[in-house]
Amino acid sequence: MRLLFIGDIVGRSGRAAVAQQVPRLRARWGLDFVIINGENAAGGFGLTEAIFEEFLQAGVDAVTLGNHAFDQREALTFIERQPRLVRPANYPPGTPGRGATIVENSKGARLLIVNLLGRIFMDALDDPFAALDRELTAYSLGSGCHAVVVDIHAEATSEKWALGHFADGRASLVVGTHTHVPSADHRILPGGTGFVTDVGMTGDYDSVIGMEKDEPLRRFTRRIPSGRFEPALGPATLCGVAVEISPRGLAKSISPVRIGGLLNGAVPSFWE
Ligand SMILES: [Fe+2]
Ligand SMILES: [Fe+2]
């Protein structure tokens, strides 16, 4: 099974990369599933239903979120009617939407997707480890699903590594999102779970983590907000992680994917 996870889509530039690249990569690599993090897709903050539908049209199977999940207030309602949209599972009970979902492809392969929010240097939600344990108890590899992807949306590298080890052997891939910077530590953990601390954003890297530079610089130097954060509009680098998954649901190969924009390119040698 071939899976591509693409990191935080930032604004119009990131959306253009999805529209251009996802159909092409699906065909070129024979992808079974494409999952993206969409928390910054609408002007850098949250996700609208129209944008979510555009992602599905481009061939995306499911969209995960993060700390910006509900920045667009319409997400509080449309998330209820979109089973392919997942917000962090460790929001308090009663939060609209779902923290995990199963998508099935045309070959009958079933993929469980779990989204979690870290607690270090972020608004502390419920325990992400306990939330993940609950989801992996309800659906385990080989019983209810063929593969499991966990998006740990977190600031702290330590928390992401700990969660990777916590899930090792029970997930096909634990992928970090949120920092908008790709880390170089993609690997397969001892129990067979593919892992990367952060997949990076899909946006313009001539920016401050996807945002046009002027306002972040003003705030860092003068400490007084003087405008809005706006997404940078230069060409995006699509940043993702490609994973070949065994019949048992564990990772056989993992590779970074970087296409377009300013970063050095990378594609999975095992599919090219
Ligand atoms: Fe993000
Ligand atoms: Fe985030």
Closest CA to 5 of 90, 113, 131, 97: 113
pLDDT score, position 124: 87
Find, among 144, 196, 192, the residue nearest to 171 by Cα. Answer: 192
Please state the rounded mean pLDDT for residues 202-220.
97
Ligand 2 centroid distance, CA of 38 (Å): 10
For residue 184, which phi and psi values (nearest 5 degrees)?
Answer: -100, 25
Asked whether the predicted pLDDT for residue 165 surpasses 90, the reply is yes
Which residues partner with 212 through β-bridges? none
- 26 Cα: distance to centroid of ligand 2 (angstroms): 26
Taking alpha carbons only, the member of 131, 174, 169 closest to residue 246 is 169
pTM for the model: 0.98
Closest by Cα among 65, 56, 14, 5 to 33: 5
Taking the centre of ligand 2 as the mean of its atom positions, its distance from the CA of residue 180, in whole angstroms, is: 8
Kindly state the tokens that stand for 159: 């928390």
Residue 50, Cβ density class (10 Å: 0-12 exposed, 13-18 middle, ≥19 buried): exposed
Evaluate if residue 140 carries a pLDDT over 90.
yes
- Band the pLDDT of 70: cuts 50, 70, 90: very high
Q: Which ligand is nearest to the CA of 122?
A: 2
Please give the average per-residue pLDDT across 166-176, as a whole number.
Answer: 98
Q: What type of residue sits at position 4?
A: L
Active site residue 153: no
Ligand 2 ion: Cβ-proximal residues, 5 Å cutoff: 66-67, 178
Over residues 167-188, mean pLDDT: 98
CA of 2 to the centre of ligand 2 (A): 26
How far apart are the CA of 143 and the centre of ligand 1, in A?
32
Percentage of the chain modeled with pLDDT above 90? 100
User: Can you tell me which residue has the tokens 């607690």?
Assistant: 119
Q: In the predicted model, what is the mean pLDDT of residues 67-86?
A: 98
Of 68, 146, 153, 180, the active-site residue reads 68
Q: What angle do CA 139, 102, 157 make, to 5 degrees?
A: 75
